[in-house]
Structure 1
């Protein structure tokens, strides 16, 4: 059963991202929103972890949050989505897990 995991907190403030990455399975998706997009900063350990995820896990981020934090030089595998696409992702997966 494929799950969309949604992270919205900075990966540098607690261990949610690490816990989430350990639970990702084949066919799952990870959506970064809010301060979680800071995980994509070039040269960071979180960026490296995201780039090393298996290809069977899709990586998404809210485009509005990337723009608000002026993050550029993003991984090729990243799919930047708007809010309608975010809703479509939630409908695509069997389950949605928000890491509050």
Structure 2
């Protein structure tokens, strides 16, 4: 059962991102929004961990949050807007929001 994992908290304040990455299945996807997009900063350990994810795991980020922070994006990342976020939520069997 494919799951969309949604992270919105800063990857520098706790271990949610690393825990999520360990639990991702091969057909899952990860959507970064809010302060979670700081994991995309070049040179940080969190971005390196994202780049090591299996190619079968889709990586998304909310465009508005990335643009607000002026981040450089990895090539595997797909930006989505709010309607795209809703579409992703319908595309996957489950949505797990990491609160």
Fold match (TM-score > 0.5)? yes
Alpha-carbon distance in structure 1 between the residues aligned to 2:16 and 2:53? 16
Partner residue, 2:29: 29
Aligned length: 99
Residues 1-100 of structure 1: matches in 2 within 5 Å? 1-72=1-72, 74-100=73-99
* Structure 1: stretches of 5+ with no match in the other structure: none
**Shift of the alpha carbon at 1:37?**
0.1
**Shift of the alpha carbon at 1:70?**
1.0
* SS of 2:55 mapped into structure 1: coil
* Structure 2: stretches of 5+ with no match in the other structure: none
Alpha-carbon distance in structure 2 between the residues aligned to 1:20 and 1:52? 13
Off by >2 Å, runs of 4+ in structure 1: none
